[in-house]
Chains A and B, each alone.
Chain A
Amino acid sequence: MLLLTEKKIALTIKELDAGFGRIRDLSVSIGKLSAGDWAEPEGPTPYPSLATLRAWDRKLLSRYQPFYMPFCDLCCLCTYGKCDLTGTKKGACGISMPAQQARTVLLTACIGAATHTSHARELVTYAIKRAGRGSSIDPGGNAIGVEAPVIRLVCGEKPKTLADLETVLDYCESQITSLLAVTHTGQEGDPLDFESKVLHAGMIDQVGMEVADLAQISALGYPKADPDAPLAALGMGTVETTKPVILVIGHNVPPSVAIIDYLAREGLSDQVEVTGICCTAIDATRYSPRAKIIGPMSWQLRYIRSGIPDVIVVDEQCVRTDAFSEAAAVGTPFIATSDKNCLGLPDRTGDPADAIVADLATGRQKGVLILDPEKAGEVAVRVARAVMPARRKSSAAIAPETIREQAADCTQCRLCRRACPNDLAIPQGMKAAGDGDLSLLSALYETCVGCGRCEQACTKKIPVHSLIVGAAAEKIKNEKFVIRTGRGAIQDIEIRNVGGPIVLGEIPGVVAFVGCSNFANGGKEVAEMSVEFAKRRYIVCTSGCAAMSIGMYRDEEGRTPYEQFPGSFTAGGIVNVGSCVANAHIAGATIKIASIFARRNLRGNYAEIADYVHNRVGAVGVAWGAMSQKAAAIASGFWRLGIPVVVGPHGTKYRRMLLGRADHDADWYVHDQRTGEEVYAGPAPEHLFVAAETKEEAMVLVAKLCMRPNDTTRGRAMKLTHYIDLYQRHHGSIPDDIPRYIRTKADIPVTLKGEITCILSQSDWKERPIPDPTLLTHDKPASSEER
């Protein structure tokens, strides 16, 4: 057998009689990964291409149909256009509105997957330079046997070294290029084929994310699957302004690592504050818990304008594109470090550090591009130390009297409010502030996403956002919290301990709060939801900006959620896996349940494992403030595994939902592997992608979406208890879809027996079997007996 995949050649000779003798069981691999001792048989879909998993995707998409909500009536992607696609009109290329929307979703997912994969490439190259090509992948020492569940599942490979990850990335990059090509004019025309490719992009994104985090965990000595990863400081109030302060923004950690290393080498670690925003901050704390996290990406404008940072270092992704001009406005030296994010700055990479430091410290240059993390790290520290004393003599903070004077200029035209994504009552706040009452402006701080659109709209050039932040000065001083640093992967033993209770439904679910901070009503809602589900003994996972928002609130005893709940992957835990690339560990945990608990083969066996996860693992993602294309790609990866995702109200701007129809009974039959019968399993889970209008509605949806056909009666009763309790609390009544979720009377929660029995008796409910569920059996080739 000669197998050619990509640049790899694998030659296997079972038995060969040759003139020189007999050869048996010879395997030769060129360019393949070093996984010769992997006994697991290869599944049907290693390295799947664009259409390999189309049949699985179509199964999901026939149940969870797209509901498109176009963000624009037009297509303007080619010179035929603009084309009006309203209703049933077609564009000049023949494309329909549903196809155009699906195409845009695919573009979005490609951007996200490309960004994570490109980031992964940077990290692998960096890790190899730091640790060597042959350096082992080590996400958790002896605690981790399945080191790369996503790569094993998708690629059918078992990576051992950093060099192995390069081969995996070759695959990801080729797939993303092909997926992007699909969006060219005159390619795909069917909405569901576009959607299938969206799911493919999401799956590739998960591979890219797993590569990225494996590389940085292995090379940088991050916490390795450690439930007790140390706590780090969080919030603007934690910054010691008596020291020079460096701010890092973005996602790619090498410049931050270089700063921390330089400080250590020079014996300055306790003399300079390293602070960060967005995921590069999370990863900086994984490298050194001395680093401090300021907050999610919505903190950029307020923190830069505070003048507290003495130097700003940006890398890539989610960096405000006006970060340099904002820094220049408060005289803060600025260093860009990524060739993906040069910001128009002069390239000083080849210049001596002394010269760059002198130019930045004296203000001869306000910003520079340095495409060498080590040099950027040294320059950042030296510049911060040089400029700090003079910077502390002045303050960028706005005095209350100045706020009153500037607010008094407001004409109440309301253009600020009409520009605000959250429709905040800014005019009222300005009027009160102009009259001397700053309380309304200060209250807006809690729900402001820090976009600054209010200022762009103001015809009087009032610095509206700065006034809101200035009015909240006391609140900001008290932003002193802690966050558990990202632990990375989930240990095999943790999976063994909870795999059974999750699959049988006795742990009511795994809820992952992930994504950005484009919250409609403040980050507090994420903290409240995570605490609610942890108290109910769900397993709560988190990452990225959502993990920061969770840490920014305290209970009555002054404890953050990270101090209230353990960091282990267990009922009632709040598990911060890390930055957004660490989301792969959450998907990986569901995959590892299939492998470690159920002993299913992962190797290139995507559809079977996704079918397992979809039908048995009660996991739900919540991206309450999802904003970015990366968030869209992350969600798409979860969808292909059959895991539902709930977004906040701004999430409708992703242009489409994937919604089930609970009222269509025919959609909810599964194949019972025990009996061969088709069995009605109820709408579990009911949706794959749904936007909730409020936190309350989201919590009810999450509890419902954790139900799975495989739940035992005990597990289903527990899940129903939470669903009904949350429903009653927030909707004020018993849900009317209960009969769809009761399979036998043993499913009825004991505390609600009388009430639910009465409901069942008034409906046409009949007892039905609990299946051994799958959506796949029909696609298996018939056996010889069946033929």
Chain B
Amino acid sequence: MTSADPWQTAEVAGPKKAAVITKPAMARAVIGHARHPVLLIGHRAATIDISGKKLVDYLLDLARVHQIPVIATGHVNRALRERGYTCAVILPAVEAGQRIADPLWSGPDGKGSCDLAIIAGLPYPMEWTLLSGLKHAAPHAKTITLDNTYQPNATWSFANISLKDWQENLEAIAADTGTGGSADV
């Protein structure tokens, strides 16, 4: 099933809704064009299994390939450390949202405020409200969710896609092609 309705059916937002990522090149381009992206990984990423590989592994591939600083929320940092990733900044998701919304924040790596928040692995309703906060209060930052459920408050989101489609998209987005993004978004 592919649907660009909110995964939780009652969670309609308003007039401004996320553009649907229809092909991985779109996401690659968005990520590639960002100057200071940040990857926010929620705790569910450690348990969501996609064809024998955890979501957190796909996301760490993405972080490593694109050299994106990571914010670990919930208690997902343990899973990151088990995979040898030790440089995540640990923050509650709402605190991370507040900082991303601050155009004067120096960012998790001290290189400047965030212009793209890549988000995945949070509980759906919590991600929904967090993305709403960023939609309204962070005009300097775009948001993209890499979960397989449609999040209307993001700037870009997958539709509600199957595990197979999700896997193919994540693999393509995280692939080290050395070309960066170029698709027209």
Which residues of A pack against B, CB within 8 Å? 65, 67-74, 84-88, 97-98, 414-415, 418-421, 423, 457, 520, 649-650, 652-653, 655, 657, 659, 661, 663, 687, 690-694, 696-697, 701, 730-733, 735-736
In Å, the complex CA distance between A649 and B44 comes to 13
Using A68-B133, A69-B130, A70-B136 as known contacts, say yes or no to A652 and B14 having CB atoms under 8 A apart.
no
**Contact status A68-B92, CB under 8 Å:** no
**Contact status A73-B101, CB under 8 Å:** no
A690 CB contacts on chain B under 8 angstroms: 92, 94-95
B44 shortest CB reach to chain A, Å: 9
A704 shortest CB reach to chain B, Å: 11
Using A86-B15, A694-B43 as known contacts, say yes or no to A730 and B78 having CB atoms under 8 A apart.
yes
**Contact status A423-B14, CB under 8 Å:** no
Q: How large is the interface on B (under 10, 10 to 19, 20 to 34, 35 or more residues)?
A: 35 or more
Contact of A652 among B7, B10, B126 (CB under 8 A): B126
**Contact status B95-A419, CB under 8 Å:** no
Which residues of B pack against A, CB within 8 Å? 1, 7-10, 13-16, 42-43, 72-75, 77-78, 81-82, 86, 90, 92-95, 97-99, 101, 105-106, 122-126, 129-130, 132-133, 135-137, 139
**Contact status A415-B15, CB under 8 Å:** no
**Contact status B139-A88, CB under 8 Å:** yes
In Å, the complex CA distance between A350 and B81 comes to 70
A454 shortest CB reach to chain B, Å: 12
**A-B contacts, 15 listed (Cβ < 8 Å):** A67-B133, A73-B136, A86-B135, A98-B137, A419-B9, A649-B125, A650-B125, A652-B129, A661-B98, A661-B99, A663-B99, A690-B94, A693-B73, A732-B82, A736-B90
B99 CB contacts on chain A under 8 angstroms: 661, 663
B74 CB contacts on chain A under 8 angstroms: 692-694, 696-697
A418 CB contacts on chain B under 8 angstroms: 7-9
**Contact status B125-A67, CB under 8 Å:** no
In Å, the complex CA distance between A420 and B139 comes to 32
Q: Which residue of the partner chain B has the closest CB to A453?
A: B10
B127 shortest CB reach to chain A, Å: 9
Contact of B123 among A84, A87, A649, A687 (CB under 8 A): A649
A681 shortest CB reach to chain B, Å: 20
In Å, the complex CA distance between A733 and B132 comes to 31
In Å, the complex CA distance between A696 and B14 comes to 33
B145 shortest CB reach to chain A, Å: 15
**Interface contacts beyond A414-B1, A732-B77: sample of 12 additional A-B pairs, CB < 8 Å, sorted by A:** A73-B132, A74-B15, A84-B14, A87-B139, A419-B10, A423-B8, A423-B123, A659-B95, A690-B92, A693-B43, A693-B73, A693-B126
Using A69-B133, A657-B98 as known contacts, say yes or no to A693 and B122 having CB atoms under 8 A apart.
yes
A309 shortest CB reach to chain B, Å: 30
In Å, the complex CA distance between A689 and B125 comes to 18
Q: Which residue of the partner chain A has the closest CB to B5?
A: A418
Contact of B90 among A87, A457, A731 (CB under 8 A): A731
Using A659-B95, A693-B93 as known contacts, say yes or no to A732 and B78 having CB atoms under 8 A apart.
yes
What are the nearest 5 A-B pairs in CB distance? A73-B14, A69-B133, A696-B75, A693-B74, A652-B129
Q: How many CB-defined contacts (below 8 Å) exist between A and B? A: 134
In Å, the complex CA distance between A159 and B94 comes to 42
**Contact status A691-B126, CB under 8 Å:** yes
B92 CB contacts on chain A under 8 angstroms: 690-693, 697, 701
Using A423-B123, A657-B94 as known contacts, say yes or no to A71 and B75 having CB atoms under 8 A apart.
no
**Contact status A68-B15, CB under 8 Å:** no
B90 CB contacts on chain A under 8 angstroms: 731, 733, 735-736
A71 CB contacts on chain B under 8 angstroms: 129, 132
In Å, the complex CA distance between A68 and B137 comes to 8
In Å, the complex CA distance between A260 and B180 comes to 74
Which of B10, B97, B123, B124 is packed against the most chain A CB atoms within 10 Å? B123
In Å, the complex CA distance between A85 and B16 comes to 10
Q: Which residue of the partner chain B has the closest CB to A67?
A: B98
B109 shortest CB reach to chain A, Å: 13
A661 CB contacts on chain B under 8 angstroms: 98-99
Q: Which residue of the partner chain B has the closest CB to A650?
A: B125
A693 CB contacts on chain B under 8 angstroms: 42-43, 73-74, 92-93, 122-123, 126
**Contact status A67-B137, CB under 8 Å:** yes
Q: Which residue of the partner chain B has the closest CB to A659?
A: B98
**Contact status A697-B9, CB under 8 Å:** no
**Contact status B75-A67, CB under 8 Å:** no
Contact of B73 among A67, A421, A697 (CB under 8 A): A697
Q: Which residue of the partner chain B has the closest CB to A662?
A: B95
In Å, the complex CA distance between A89 and B154 comes to 18
B97 shortest CB reach to chain A, Å: 6
Q: Which residue of the partner chain A has the closest CB to B121?
A: A693
In Å, the complex CA distance between A697 and B82 comes to 18
A650 shortest CB reach to chain B, Å: 6
B13 CB contacts on chain A under 8 angstroms: 72-73
**Contact status B136-A68, CB under 8 Å:** yes
**Contact status A419-B125, CB under 8 Å:** no
A121 shortest CB reach to chain B, Å: 35
Using A650-B125, A693-B122 as known contacts, say yes or no to A86 and B136 having CB atoms under 8 A apart.
yes
A88 CB contacts on chain B under 8 angstroms: 139
In Å, the complex CA distance between A34 and B94 comes to 48
**Contact status B94-A87, CB under 8 Å:** no
**Contact status B132-A70, CB under 8 Å:** yes
A650 CB contacts on chain B under 8 angstroms: 125-126
Using A653-B125, A691-B126 as known contacts, say yes or no to A457 and B95 having CB atoms under 8 A apart.
no
In Å, the complex CA distance between A693 and B124 comes to 11
A321 shortest CB reach to chain B, Å: 17
In Å, the complex CA distance between A69 and B133 comes to 4
B117 shortest CB reach to chain A, Å: 14
In Å, the complex CA distance between A72 and B122 comes to 20
**Contact status A733-B133, CB under 8 Å:** no
**Contact status B133-A70, CB under 8 Å:** yes
In Å, the complex CA distance between A67 and B133 comes to 7
